Amino acid sequence: MKRALLLSPVVAASAHAATLMINPTAITYTNTPNQELTGLNLDNEINIINGNGLSATPTVGNVTSVTHDSVSFSSPGNAWATIDPGPGAGDFFAEGGNAPMFTIDLGGTYSVTDFVIWGYHFGSNNGNHPKNITLEFSTNGGASYGAPLGILVPNAGAFNSADVVNFSARDANFVRLTVTDNYFGTYSGGDRVGISEIRFMGDAIPEPSSSLLGAVGVLALLRRRKR
């Protein structure tokens, strides 16, 4: 039985367009027991954020045209994947695979509005590609997280293009990402969960000190005008 659950509806694309491509600075696979696929150079989660396999550096302006190579087993690898928890080619989740979870450092504080993912594939859409994902957002470095947001990854475009999922803005400097279902039964594969690359999009939020300095400057200017 599938364990996928959409915790909240995906919001349609908003009128406000993100201004920045957010490039995470660190990522940690936090599942226990560890289920990373070793031996095929797909066991390092840094491959999800380091740009290996991308045709160009993604930006807000070019994200729909940046593509990702097919999954490569050659060192250092260009994707990440779990093991197959059961015999044969069954459903990863039905066979007892733990939902993959990642803790992601955004490298700053942002108003996050979009999730971007390039699929796990071998020349065509693949069942290992995430279908349902839960995102949780933290503004205190991962010490605590707000209400989870469930999103559906469409996987509807060309196999090597990005899927971009828009949602109502969430402030965050850390994101916890959990894959709760893949495309087993829709495409070949699905006995694992695999990801090639991810990004986020949104707007920068000034650090409190910068905001305070700006406010002080405005007050000083107003006082000068009054004089």
Summarize pLDDT for 4-39 with one digit per residue, the tens: 444 444 444 444 688 999 999 999 998 877 789 999
Q: Report pLDDT digits (tens) over 39-90.
A: 999 999 999 999 999 999 999 999 999 999 999 999 999 999 999 998 778 9
Q: How many of the other CB atoms lie within 10 Å of CB of 96?
A: 10
Q: In this structure, what DSSP letter does residue 68 have?
A: B
Mean pLDDT over 147-161 rounds to: 86
pLDDT at res. 69: 95
Identify the residue with better confidence: 211 or 24: 24
pLDDT tens sequence across 119-146 = 999 988 999 999 999 999 999 999 999 9
The token pair that represents 184 in the structure block: 């087993």
Answer for the pair 6, 132: CB distance below 8 angstroms, yes or no: yes
Instruction: Give CA 45 to chain center in angstroms.
Output: 12
CA angle 172, 175, 180 (to 5 degrees): 140
- pLDDT confidence bin for 1, thresholds 50/70/90: very low
**What is the predicted pLDDT for the residue at 223?**
58
Beta strands in the chain (DSSP E): 20-22, 26-29, 80-81, 101-118, 130-138, 149-152, 162-182, 194-195, 197-204
DSSP string, 180-210: EEE-BTTBS--SS-EE-EEEEEEEE---HHH
> What does pLDDT average to over the chain?
87
- How far is Cα of residue 86 from the mean position of the Cα atoms in its chain? 26
Q: Which structural domains are found in the chain, ordered by start?
A: 20-226 (2.60.120.260)
